[in-house]
């Protein structure tokens, strides 16, 4: 069979740059990455001094060890497994470094990172609490770098910071500069909300995102596990709850609490919160259902509610809060419970998620003025997507940026990046969350004054390449390239 | 060490559904999936009749064969490899079907799909041309289904359609209904543009997306291979072109032309177009550079252009078009070359990419009124993202929807979905492109009258699960689940 002539279209992309605004006009200016004086540290520590003096690290001549004075030793599996993990992160990348592996340590080489837990109780076997100490101090010198922290929580953060200080020189050799860092979080509550009700999220995806949270010093995993759409929580006590689960798979929570024996939930994350009774529909109590349900109509008559479903709702919530109170647990509510005037315990935590900037700032002012503690999510609904560098707006929002007294500001305990699940599943969750959630992470960890968007861009561009190197498909911020690009599809 | 009491936050997600508009108000109504009378066919064939009579298929008792009358035989590697591929697609999923594998074929089983190329020249060893026949007819009966097509191009489309007719019954057994389909594309040019200049796209990602294009009956891969940002095309003739490449990797085009020996570019895709000289910056000729370049200033004086850079641009383009004309290839230009009044050959193809609906419809009217052929991309810039079911707006756009005569409409040869690369790399390209580009695929393939968004949603929801099953991380359209979810992260 004779081959027909090939019709090749030669596409001439002609026209000036005016004609090539394929990029469109952005609300935020497009930034182009350059080097930051803070390297690729993310989130930026409270106090950093990086000198020009640099040392090498060699995979054959480097170890992470317990300082002999440390209150945590070889029996602290939490730290030991973190040492192994961060050793891998430090030496991620091509294995064939230019420098000979058997070469003895030179005078300018860091051969050891000593981890020193200074408090008598390291917290190694504890679950973290709201007031756990997450601070640490890191001193990088040769031949020994020292990481000091009162508790294991700070040590875990410091290990991440140490790994972020390591870079490759022009020959690919792992390098670190002489550095002194003193660090602690600005806010105690730094969370990410994932929603496994609208789409099932495979366990391995959740675990990978827990790891990524730790790389960004998040400490709360807020798991919106069930909702109207599906009930994938498999309760051992009430198995009938999940009988009507529409997904084939479900979560056995024990598995998560045991992820990395004795560790991940209580370590990288202060505590894990599970939402209970997230919406009424699943209990056949959406407002529509309520109206059409004769039992509920009868109940409302008995209670004298008339046709006022708000009263029914308040009744329901009040009962629920009473029950929760008997469990001696704290509780956290979405803002509308406060807005609707339901009676709340003084230690109630109120989650602000509605409205534009003006509106959520007013809400934060009202809540704190009433003496309640609060956390912010309104500007951090990362399920909302837009074309361009939307991380900048995410980065600029500040939970303490509202009109109020210093005492009011102290009632702000942090915030959460929320990724609701209507349009998200395992196919797109991770790149949609990262590095956009990184912007929230820095806002919640770093000092209030850390607001230089250009410097943030420079550090974040490299940080996102680091996530990619660690196997996390974090999407690009803008036109760019990584030393080692993502290997999946 | 004593464990501290665990502080568990019980998050009460309280409030009516009014309080839970985490989903926000959408421009487009949210659709909920249900069954379509057309199953999961995508894009919808021109004529379909699916009966209620169903047959089984068994992996041990089914084969795809050449009809004995076919002009393509065992030597047509293009088809033979397609048979193997589509056999795999048909039997994708759990291997342990309920029905015993060694059971003999029952009376209601399809055991063979015969492929019959009816034209004396099958085109098996040809490259496709703009006028290649892509039509096919498919008849599913038992025990033999027959796929007839004048050329291999139609047969490839028909194989995809056959695979889309197969579904699983309640016991997981592969099932297909008695069906008669007659099909051909509405438009000849159905393309996807990928941009490897702003971010390097690994070869395996490009190949996976070429496969996905074939699953949606796209036939043009428009490769925006180089641009200002980088020049990853490694030319053997002009190696110095890519010397300044900012990415570490580059493309050797021969590799792509040889993907699946003798096949993919000329088969699933009619032709591959490479853009040449995509922007001026890379040639040091952006308008800014031009102004500051004394050589160019001198040249403009000599030509008598004064300070009118538009004249310089037109001169440049005219020269380029003259050169291209001597190569006997067709050419395709972005719309502004037409807008700027550059002299064009009558067979020039003009790519419309600018403006809102009113504006691009006016442009299509002007171009066709001047007698030129055109294709549309303005509503299909898939790099533009928005929250919600944006596939609906993509789906509703129609390239022939402008004021003009029938003769003008005939000058519209199709369109392209464009995914520019500023915010896209291997981490997020595939889920961002699919299934949004599927909406473009159906608009360009199916009959003009196929505009029922509800029916489209029902078919597309299942089609996207099919892509997921085939290993493509196509993102969800809305709250949903697939029989087998994506396995990556």
**Closest partner residue to A11 among B246, B273, B423, by Cβ?**
B273
Interface contact A12-B309, CB threshold 8 A: no
Which site among B4, B19, B21, B22 would you substitute to test the A interface, given the most A Cβ atoms closer than 10 Å to its Cβ? B22
Instruction: Tell me the shortest Cα–Cα distance from A134 to chain B, in angstroms.
Output: 16
Whether residue A344 has pLDDT greater than 90: no
For the complex shown, is ipTM > 0.95? no
Whether residue A456 has pLDDT greater than 90: yes
The size of the A-B interface in CB pairs under 8 A is 351
Residues of A in contact with B317 (CB under 8 A): 12, 14
Percent of chain B exceeding pLDDT 70 equals 80
pLDDT band at A208, cuts 50/70/90? very high
Q: Name the more confident of B453 and B319.
A: B453
pLDDT band at B43, cuts 50/70/90? very high
Predicted pLDDT at B96: 53
Predicted pLDDT at A351: 93
Mean pLDDT of B250-258: 59
**Closest partner residue to B425 among A6, A22, A485, by Cβ?**
A485
Question: Are A160 and A128 within 8 A, CB to CB?
Answer: no
Least trusted range by pLDDT, from A270-279, A460-469, B247-256, B456-465: A270-279
Predicted pLDDT at B418: 95
pLDDT digit string, tens, across residues B50-107: 999 999 999 999 999 999 999 999 999 999 999 999 999 999 877 655 554 555 556 6
Phi and psi of B48, rounded to 5°?
-135, 130
Residues of B in contact with A387 (CB under 8 A): 383-386, 423
Q: What gap in Å lies between CA B430 and CA B322, rounded to an integer?
A: 38
Interface contact B381-A324, CB threshold 8 A: no
Q: How many residues does chain B have?
A: 489
Q: What gap in Å lies between CA B456 and CA B460, rounded to an integer?
A: 6
Q: Name the more confident of A200 and B98.
A: A200
Q: Name the more confident of A292 and B59.
A: B59
Instruction: Tell me the shortest Cα–Cα distance from B221 to chain A, in angstroms.
Output: 11
Residues of A in contact with B278 (CB under 8 A): 13
Q: Name the more confident of B309 and A191.
A: A191
- The overall average pLDDT reported for chain B is 83
User: E strand or H helix at A146, and its extent?
Assistant: strand A144-149
Whether residue B5 has pLDDT greater than 70: no
Q: What gap in Å lies between CA B392 and CA B397, rounded to an integer?
A: 9
pLDDT digit string, tens, across residues A33-64: 688 999 999 999 999 999 999 999 999 999 99
Predicted pLDDT at A266: 26
Interface contact B475-A126, CB threshold 8 A: no
Mean pLDDT of B371-383: 97
pLDDT band at B326, cuts 50/70/90? confident
Mean pLDDT of B157-182: 96
Mean pLDDT of B289-303: 80
Predicted pLDDT at A277: 37
Whether residue B124 has pLDDT greater than 70: yes
Predicted pLDDT at A209: 93
Interface contact B1-A277, CB threshold 8 A: no
Whether residue A13 has pLDDT greater than 60: no
Q: Is A479 exposed, middle or buried (0-12, 13-18, 19+ CB in 10 A)?
A: buried
Nearest residue in chain A measured CA to CA from B19: A336
Interface contact A481-B10, CB threshold 8 A: no
Phi and psi of A159, rounded to 5°?
-65, -40
pLDDT band at A256, cuts 50/70/90? low
pLDDT digit string, tens, across residues A374-401: 999 999 999 999 999 999 999 999 999 9
Question: Are A144 and A111 within 8 A, CB to CB?
Answer: yes
Predicted pLDDT at B63: 97
């Amino acid at each position: 069979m004779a081959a027909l002539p090939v019709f090749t279209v030669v596409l001439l992309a002609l026209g000036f740059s005016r004609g090539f605004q394929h990029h469109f006009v952005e609300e935020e200016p497009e930034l182009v990455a350059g080097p930051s004086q803070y390297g690729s540290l993310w989130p930026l520590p409270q106090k950093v001094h990086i000198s020009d003096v640099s040392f090498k690290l060699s995979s054959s001549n480097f170890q992470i060890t317990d300082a002999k004075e440390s209150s945590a030793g070889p029996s602290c599996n939490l730290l030991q497994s973190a040492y192994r993990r961060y050793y891998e992160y430090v030496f991620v990348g091509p294995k064939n470094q230019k420098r000979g592996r058997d070469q003895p340590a030179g005078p300018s080489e860091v051969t050891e990172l000593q981890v020193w837990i200074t408090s008598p109780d390291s917290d190694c076997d504890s679950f973290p609490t709201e007031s756990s100490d997450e601070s640490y101090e890191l001193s990088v010198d040769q031949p020994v770098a020292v990481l000091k922290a009162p508790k294991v929580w700070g040590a875990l953060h410091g290990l991440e910071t140490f790994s972020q200080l390591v870079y490759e020189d022009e020959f690919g050799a792992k390098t670190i500069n002489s550095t002194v860092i003193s660090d602690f979080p600005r806010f105690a509550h730094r969370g990410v909300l994932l929603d496994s009700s609208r789409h099932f999220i495979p366990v391995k995806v959740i675990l990978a995102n827990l790891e990524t949270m730790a790389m960004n010093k998040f400490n709360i995993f807020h798991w919106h596990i069930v909702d109207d759409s599906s009930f994938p929580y498999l309760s051992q006590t009430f198995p009938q709850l999940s009988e009507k689960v529409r997904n084939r798979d479900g979560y056995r929570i024990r598995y998560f609490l045991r992820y990395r024996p004795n560790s991940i939930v209580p370590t990288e994350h202060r505590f894990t919160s599970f939402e209970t009774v997230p919406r009424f529909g699943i209990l056949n109590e959406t407002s529509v259902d309520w109206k059409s349900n004769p039992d509920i109509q009868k109940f409302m008559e008995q209670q004298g509610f008339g046709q006022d479903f708000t009263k029914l709702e308040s009744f329901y919530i009040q009962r629920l809060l009473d029950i929760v109170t008997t469990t001696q647990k704290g509780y956290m509510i979405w803002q509308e419970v406060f807005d609707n005037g339901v009676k709340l315990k003084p230690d109630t935590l109120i989650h602000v998620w509605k409205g534009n900037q003006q509106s959520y700032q007013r809400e934060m002012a009202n809540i704190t003025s009433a003496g309640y503690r609060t956390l912010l999510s309104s500007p951090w609904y990362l399920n909302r997507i837009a074309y361009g560098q939307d991380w900048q707006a995410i980065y600029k929002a500040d939970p303490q940026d509202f009109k109020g007294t210093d005492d009011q500001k102290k009632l702000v305990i942090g915030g959460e990046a929320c990724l609701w699940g209507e349009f998200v599943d395992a196919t797109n969750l991770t790149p949609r969350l990262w590095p956009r959630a990184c912007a929230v992470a820095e806002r919640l960890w770093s000092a209030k004054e850390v607001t230089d968007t250009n410097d943030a861009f420079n550090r974040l561009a490299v940080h996102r390449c680091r996530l990619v190197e660690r196997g996390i498909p974090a999407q690009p911020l803008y036109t760019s390239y990584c030393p080692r690009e993502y290997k999946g599809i």
